[in-house]
Amino acid sequence: MAFEQLSEREKQVLYNLITHYIQSADPVGSRVIANRFKMGLSSATIRNTLQDLEELGLVEQPHTSAGRVPTDLGYRVYVDFLLKPDRLSPKEKEIIRDAVLKEGRGVDAILGQTSRVLSEITRELGVTIAPRFDAGVLKRLELIPISDERIMVIVVVKSGLARSVIIEVQAAIPESSLRDIESVLNERLAGLTLGEIRNTIGERLSDIEDQGRLVKLLLDSDSKIWSDLDPDGIHVAGADQLLKQPEFSDLKKISELLRVLENGSLLGEFLQEAHDAGLVIIIGGESKYADIINCSLVASSYQVGKISGAIGIIGPTRMPYSKLVSVVQYTAKTITEVLSGIDKEKD
C-alpha cells in the first residue's frame, strides 16, 4: 500500500486514532476522535474514514461493537510517515546524561546504568548491548594470572575500550612464560581486527610449541576472547514496568516475555539490526522471533571509533514511539560521547 494513496483526511484520522490509542489502550471510536481532536468533521464522516482504513489493513476492530485499534501495518505507516519525534526538555537530557555518567567510565557500568534509566524514563524495558569488538583493531593483549589454574585475558582495542575473559588452564604457568607468550601474541596479532584474528589465529600461532595448553585455548576461534556477541554483555532493566502494561495481563504473554528476557543471545540478535542501521524500529509481527511478536523495539547504535553497540527499548506495539525515538537517539549520542571521552554538550 503506497502512503501517497492515502487522502489527507485518512492520514489525519489514522494519526489521531494511534495517538489516542497509545495513551488510552482502549479501542477508539469515531465519536472519540471527533470530540477530542476537533477536526471539523462529523462522527459519521470519521466513521466512514475508519472503514476505509480498515479495508486498507491499517486498523481493525477487536470486537464487532468496539472501536478500532491500529494493526502492525498501521503502526508502520505511522512510524515511517506520520511520526513527529518529541523534543526532549533540558531537564530530560540532564537526567539521561547524569545517569550515564553516574557509574564512572567502565563500559559495563555505563551500559547497566543506561538500561535502568531507559526503563525509568519510558516505563518500558530498557536493553543495552556491549560494543561489537569484531571491527576493533587490537592494540594489546595482556595475560594476568589470578590463580594457579585461572588466567585473565585482557583485550584492548585502539578505541581505548577493553574487555576481559577468564580462562581455565590445567596447571600453573610461570610468570616468565606468560610474559613470553604475551609478547609473541602482541607481536603477531596487534594491528589486526578481532574478526581477522578469529578467522586466522590458527595459522598465525600454529608454530608456537611452548606452553601449548594455553595457546590451544587462545587458538579456539569460538572462545569468548574473540567472539563478537557476548551474552554477558547484555543488560536488561524494567521487566516489572512491562508487566504493568495491560497487554501483559495474559499469563501466556508474560511467560513468552520472560522466556525472551532469560535468553541473552536472542535479545542480542533482536538488537543486532541496530548496529548497522542506526535507528531501528521493529513493530510486532515484523520480528522473526515468535516469542516477541506482541512487542516492538526502538533501538539505536552507539559508536566508539569503529566499534558499535546498541541500546533499545522493548514494549508493547502500543508504545509512544514519538517519545521513545527521541530518548533512544539522545541516549545513544550521549553514550558515544562519554565512551569517546567527550563530556561537554555540543548543542
Q: Which of 324, 327, 326, 317 is nearest to 25 (CA)?
A: 317
CB atoms within 10 A of CB 22: 19
Is there a single domain that holds both residue 127 and residue 139?
Answer: no
Is there a single domain that holds both residue 200 and residue 298?
Answer: no
Angle, helix 212-219 to helix 175-189, in steps of 10 degrees: 40
More confident residue, 104 or 260: 260
Total domain count, the chain: 3
The C-alpha cell at 75 is 503502526
Is there a single domain that holds both residue 310 and residue 261?
Answer: yes
Q: Residue 152 is part of which domain span? A: 134-219
Is there a single domain that holds both residue 152 and residue 108?
Answer: no
Is there a single domain that holds both residue 155 and residue 214?
Answer: yes
CA contacts within 13 A on the Cβ side of 54: 16
Is there a single domain that holds both residue 117 and residue 251?
Answer: yes
Q: How confident is the model at residue 216 (pLDDT cuts 50, 70, 90)?
A: low
Place of cell 524495558: 125
67 within some domain: yes
Q: How confident is the model at residue 346 (pLDDT cuts 50, 70, 90)?
A: very low
Question: Which of 19, 54, 82 is at the close of a domain?
Answer: 82
The C-alpha cell at 71 is 494493526
Is there a single domain that holds both residue 244 and residue 334?
Answer: yes
Give pTM, 2 decimals. Answer: 0.80
pLDDT in tens, 59-85: 999 887 779 999 999 999 999 999 999
Is there a single domain that holds both residue 141 and residue 126?
Answer: no
Place of cell 479495508: 55
Give the β-pairing of 234-237 and 295-304: unpaired
The domain that holds 253 is classified in CATH as 3.30.450.40
Is there a single domain that holds both residue 197 and residue 293?
Answer: no
Outline where 6-149 has alpha helix (H): 8-24, 30-37, 43-55, 72-77, 90-102, 107-122
195 within some domain: yes
Q: How confident is the model at residue 210 (pLDDT cuts 50, 70, 90)?
A: low
